[in-house]
Amino acid sequence: MRGRLGISRMLLCLCILVCMQTVHTSFFHSDNRGPTPQYSPIVIIPGDGGNQLEAKLNKPPDNTGCPLKKDWYRLWLDVWSLRGERLKCWADNIKLVYNATTKQSRNVHGVSTRVPGFGLTSSIEYLDPSWSAWVLADAGNYMKKLVDYFVGLGYKRGKSIVAAPYDFRFAPHSQTQYFTALKRLIENSSRLNGNKKVTLMSHSMGGLFGLHFLQRQSSEWLQTYIHRFVPISCPWVGAVIQFNTYASGYNLGISIVDPKIIREEQRSYETGVYILPHPHNWPHLDENIVVTPYRNYTVRDYNSFFTDIGFEQGIDMLDNVVNITRLEHPGVKISNIYSHGIDTPTGLIYDNGFPDEQPIRRILGDGDGTVTLKSLTYIQRLLRPGEGDSEFYVSGVNHGDILKNQQVFQYLQNILTL
């Protein structure tokens, strides 16, 4: 989740290259032992909350005591804004407003947002580059180590390794402009790197966005521009922890964050319902996922669940996104990467405090700590090993740390070779 090649190392490499009279044969290095492999350019789609998001405020007067005017600033992620009274202001600025008539969502009135760094890697390497995030166990570090690894192989930020950040609050049906820009970025990346085919790499929910995008391209375009699709830790049929988010709010284990304060904001995202366990594709449709003293809920019970937690709007929002991304082969080679061996929520048990209080216990199963193994591996049924599809997994690595894992990096290096 971080990266930069040191100046001294660059100078040392330059001296060695000059002394050995090396010749550059591609956009990567070669030496007198023969040319090193040529690699596919990389375009990265980050996961949910996996890139920076900026905001500008010009809000009408209110009685909240929150700032009403502010020039462009980092809305996500700024860990300082998640503390104390600032949390309420932050949650109100980042939430969406849903229109049941148009079936569309928008920002709160007076809040403008934009996604910085499209085509660069800066907004995915560090979500929060500030010292306060570093103090909190380097909380802002997302893909820095992954990008650094490939820069060490000769990749160039902004040229042969680029990112396609997006407003992760909006589901694919609201992302027409984003997917147009993504297509253009892939074509430009190929052109800038000797017309090499591009690897579309993703993390977490970004895998669903990548699949959605690829399924809507022509076979000719895919064969011209795509080397391979590499989803990492993708929740193919959803994540159980999303039930926690909708019922009582989920603070990701950050003790300073009150989950009830951010619950409304979390419920407002289109992508919240997008990554709920899928009501048709979940491996065990009659499995109790939410258990309460009053009744239990399976993925067949979304209407009752949303009604009982006082969020009937969720029924409509789920209907809008449930069939957006088809779990079908995209027509390019796939390498599915995931981790397992970590206790992962497969069910939630509440007491009489449901839905406002946190679950008293979580039923745990195998997965990466966030996504269950069933969801991570659901795509196995689509893979075509005889046509170049593959999968790779590691054990004991959590959902985020898989982006810092050397075994994963080495595997990626192998499949990126042209």
Among all residues, which ones are annotated catalytic?
204, 368, 399
Beta-bridge partners for 202: 45, 231
DSSP-derived secondary structure for 383-398: --GGGT-EEEEEES--
**Interatomic CA distance for residues 385 and 387, integer angstroms:** 5
203 forms bridges with which residues in the sheet?
Answer: 232
- 9-33 in b/e form (b: 16+ CB < 10 A) is eeeeeeeeeeeeeeeeebbbbbeee
* 161 and 147 Cβ atoms separated by less than 8 Å: yes
Alpha helices per DSSP H over 334-388: 373-376
Burial 281-313 (b: 16+ CB within 10 A, else e): ebeeeebbbbbbeeeebbbebbeebbebbebee
The answer to whether 202 and 174 have CB atoms below 8 angstroms apart is: no
Alpha carbon of 8 to those of 5, 18, 149, 154: distances in Å?
Answer: 9, 15, 17, 16
Q: Residue 282 and residue 278: Cα distance in Å, rounded?
A: 5
Cα distances from 356 to residues 171, 305, 360, in angstroms, run: 26, 13, 12
195: exposed, middle or buried (Cβ count in 10 Å: 0-12, 13-18, 19+): exposed
Judge residue 359's burial from the number of C-beta atoms within 10 Å of its C-beta, 0-12 exposed, 13-18 middle, 19 or more buried. Answer: buried
- DSSP for 51-102, please give it: S-EEEEEEPPP-SS----EEEEEEEET-GGGGSTTHHHHHHHHH-EEEETTT
Asked if 167 and 50 touch (Cβ cutoff 8 Å), the reply is no
Residue given tokens 């001294």 in the structure block: 8
Cβ proximity of 156 and 121 under 8 Å: no
Q: DSSP per residue over 110-133, as a string?
A: TEEEE---TTSSHHHHBS--SHHH
